[in-house]
Structure 1
Amino acid sequence: MLVDPDIGLFRADERVFTAMLDGWRAQMLARGLTTQTIKQRCQLLERFQRFTGEFPWQWRPADIDDFLADLRSGEKPISLKTLRSYSNAVAMFCSYLTHPGYGWGEFCERTFGDIPSQICFEWNTPRHTTDDAVPAKKRSFTKAELQRLFDYIDDLVDREYAAGSKRWLPLFRDSVAFKVCYAYGLRRREMTMLDLEDFGPNPHVSDYGRFGAVQVRFAKGTARDPDVAPC
């Protein structure tokens, strides 16, 4: 596409936009993102393009303002989490287009007389904070509430064991799972995929012995330290 001499002959803008999405898709595949995530992001960019009626080298910050405002002001406004996901996708696409290593800036200037630019900034996209990422009706447990939860589960284990019931074993498993998740800050999938070999010593918490840290091998696809120490 970048060296196609016939690019200006027929529907050049649509062909270039398609090639941009193809290139971005290849980059995301190379980064190891899931095909579902890639599909959703590309579909969002196509939706954004239809909303603006323009192409990436014509996009301006006001375009993302109008797009996000429209999504938040309808009869069923999207959640803040979804809004952040959408703005992040557009920002990542713009970052890809403006990276000099991919050559889209020079190509668009030569072909259309304009260049792509970043349109998502701190002042026109949602902030990412712990407080606004969780709906008001959902909150973290207090330490007292956590202690009551753990005590209650332990009491259930003791009660079933004393009664000679076989249910004490799965209850004990659940009790350990809750405490491991809390101690190491693990998500559900991260906890269920753990193996004994994932644990190791940590010089900062020597009292934990060989369970001072855990290596998360099946983590969510975001930037995160794979070696997690207990809280």
Structure 2
Amino acid sequence: MDGVDVPGVVRLVVPGNVRALDPAPAMFEAMLTGWARQQQSRLLAGKTIADRVSLVRRFAAFNGTYPWDWTAEDVEAYFSAQVSGGSPLAHSTVRGQQSDLRMFCVFVTDARYGWAAACLDEFGRAPVQVCHDWNTAEHVAEFEGRPGRRALTYDELQAFFDAADARVEDIRRRGRKGVLSAWRDAVLLKAVYAYGTRRRESAMLDLHDLRHNPRAKSYGRFGALEVRYGKASRGSPPKRRTVLTVPEMDWVVPLLEEWTVEVRPRFEVGGHPALWVTERCGRISLRRLDEVFSLVRSLAALPAELELHCLRHTYITHLIEFGYPERFVQDQVGHQYASTTALYTWVGDEYRNRLLEDSLRRRAERAAARKGSSAR
């Protein structure tokens, strides 16, 4: 591929007629710029690119060396430090960072981009791949999330929602500011559970995302939710899906109607399209969503390891327990593969015991039938 300028190639980043006063850091910065351009050409999200570049910077700073001097031992030293101490990284985070570092090494060692040859000319050493199977984490478990991230039990869910409602009444009784915000928070948290939406999906909802479902006319414009900012993958645009309001959770319909008709207008946001708005007439932030969940979780005296995403886990679990087919659940939550849905499913003891009782009952009926047949 000589003469073909692919995104990130060295000659497009480093001027051929300019020599840096301090060539080592200049070469490193040029490498990062080239890698960022190469990822941009793949349509990866800006945050994804920034996070990966930041990781490479941290790795270089930790070892005090540049890519042409990196060794496999540097990888071991860096990630050993990340999994020790008071706040060790999760297994999935470590594996993801090692994958990102491996991709950077693939980029700078690929002859098409010219970085290895440029380093060899400038420093007498060329970068090599330092992430191997024998010094990086393997993907051996289907679920790599933190054990504390789980579905809530029915009692925990009820306590959580009760705490959200009690917060509204407490603020109103004391005559303090923030009643409308607390009201919004209570409805928002219930809607996150009732539709199984992710954090960003929830924050990015607009009023026109509330949809009619011709097969559920009694729900009015709350028969479905159009999710337009679903989780993207590999540089794709945000994925879209329609989440239907299921009968077991149609209690959310009057709550949403009350919010959109009576409460939301009192925020005086004018023509702002967001479903969940703030006192400052803007869209609720992702950080605020986490803060609201943490606050209500504390009021309900629930375990600190529970996160907002656990409401999505709970939604998936309960749909399975309600008897919905796995394909329906998969479409509702926007999973590409059924195996992904299975990873988020925690089926409760009550449901499993009910299945066991049904199986025992059928077995007893068959035995009774055989006994009656032999008696005749």
TM-score range, shorter chain: 0.5 to 0.7
Q: 1:122 to 1:133 in 2, by over 3 A?
A: farther
Higher relative contact order (CA 8 A, sep 6+): 2
Deviations 1:57-102 (A, max 9, x none): 34343321121113333x5453326645643542342243345653
Deviations 1:83-123 (A, max 9, x none): 45643542342243345653334544565453432626586
Q: After TM superposition, give the deviation of residue 227 of structure 1 in Å.
A: 2.0
Give the Cα separation in 2 of the matches to 1:201 and 1:116. 57
Equivalent of residue 55 in structure 1, options 59, 62, 66: 66
Contact 2:192/2:198 (<8 A) preserved? yes
Q: How does 1:58-73 map to 2 (within 5 A)?
A: 58-73=69-84
Show the counterpart of 1:193: 204
Q: How does 1:5-84 map to 2 (within 5 A)?
A: 12-27=23-38, 31-34=44-47, 38=50, 41-73=52-84, 75-80=85-90, 83-84=94-95
Show the counterpart of 2:105: 94
Q: How does 1:165-204 map to 2 (within 5 A)?
A: 173-174=184-185, 176-199=187-210
Q: How does 1:130-169 map to 2 (within 5 A)?
A: 132-134=144-146, 136=148, 138-143=149-154, 145-146=156-157, 149=160, 152=162
Instruction: Indicate the percent of aligned positions where both proteins have the same amino acid.
Output: 29
Q: 1:126 to 1:221 in 2, by over 3 A?
A: farther
Show the counterpart of 2:352: none
Give the Cα separation in 1 of the matches to 2:108 and 2:32. 10
Q: TM-score, normalised by structure 1?
A: 0.61
- In structure 1, the gaps of 5 or more residues are 160-166
Q: 1:141 to 1:71 in 2, by over 3 A?
A: same
Q: After TM superposition, give the deviation of residue 214 of structure 1 in Å.
A: 2.4
Q: TM-score, normalised by structure 2?
A: 0.42
Show the counterpart of 2:240: 227
For residue 96 of structure 1, what is the amino acid of its counterpart? F
Give the Cα separation in 1 of the matches to 2:160 and 2:181. 16
Give the Cα separation in 1 of the matches to 2:22 and 2:30. 13
Q: Is residue 2:129 matched to residue 1:117? A: yes
Give the Cα separation in 2 of the matches to 1:86 and 1:133. 15
Give the Cα separation in 2 of the matches to 1:10 and 1:154. 60
Deviations 1:9-36 (A, max 9, x none): 975444322210222344456634149x
Give the Cα separation in 2 of the matches to 1:13 and 1:169. 56
Q: Is residue 2:230 matched to residue 1:214? A: no
Q: 1:214 to 1:190 in 2, by over 3 A?
A: same
For residue 137 of structure 2, what is the amino acid of its counterpart? T
- In structure 2, the gaps of 5 or more residues are 1-9, 170-177, 244-331, 334-376
Give the Cα separation in 2 of the matches to 1:19 and 1:175. 49
Range with bigger deviation, 14-23 or 79-88:
79-88
The root-mean-square deviation of aligned C-alpha atoms, in Å, is 4.9
Q: Which secondary structure does the structure 2 equivalent of 1:117 belong to?
A: coil
Contact 2:82/2:88 (<8 A) preserved? yes
Deviations 1:119-157 (A, max 9, x none): 265861375968542254x5331355435655x47987x
Q: Which secondary structure does the structure 1 equivalent of 2:46 belong to?
A: coil
Give the Cα separation in 1 of the matches to 2:194 and 2:134. 33
Aligned residues: 218
Q: 1:62 to 1:189 in 2, by over 3 A?
A: same
Give the Cα separation in 1 of the matches to 2:40 and 2:58. 21
Give the Cα separation in 2 of the matches to 1:214 and 1:24. 36
